[in-house]
Amino acid sequence: MPIDSNFEKSREAVDEEDGVTVWGPVDPPEKLGIHGTHVAVDFDICIADGACLEDCPVDVFSWVDTPDHPESEKKVQPAREDQCIDCMLCVDVCPVDAIDVDPGRAGRV
């Protein structure tokens, strides 16, 4: 199942991690929520293949450790989502549709 593109309406902002908003529910290590707003990554379905990190022309993503998560022990955090140029490469290359980029959400929490 792909990331919920309406997560801002269906989920609540429950935390902030390294300046990135986290949308719940969160119950580590299994449920880690959606990280980011303009560039959002569903940590619960991300398999950390790294294609988004490698293909992003402006280096929006960085690796973070997620020990004991059932999908992968690391994820790609949209750490510099304010640098996103809305090219959608990350969305296109994600094999599990874990990323959503919405220019209309830029700068909002």
4 belongs to an annotated ligand binding site: no
* Token duo for residue 36: 């980011």
* 9 assigned to a ligand binding site: no
10: confidence class by pLDDT, cuts 50, 70, 90: very high
Q: Encoding tokens for residue 98?
A: 């874990």
- The pLDDT, as a whole number, for residue 105 is 77
> 100 a known binding residue?
no
DSSP 43-94: TTT-----HHHHH-TT---EEEE-TT-SS-SEEEE-TTGGG-----HHHHH-
Express each pLDDT in 52-90 by its tens digit.
999 999 999 999 999 999 999 999 999 999 999 999 999
* Distance, first Cα to last Cα, the chain: 24
Contact indicator for 65, 106 with CB cutoff of 8 Å:
no
Q: Please tell me whether 3 is known to bind a ligand.
A: no
The topology under which CATH files domain 7-103 is Alpha-Beta Plaits (3.30.70)
Q: Spell out the domain ranges in the chain.
A: 7-103
Residue 25 is assigned to a ligand binding site: no
52 is in an annotated binding site: yes
Residue 84 annotated in ligand binding: yes
pTM higher than 0.75: yes
Q: Is 90 annotated as a binding residue?
A: yes
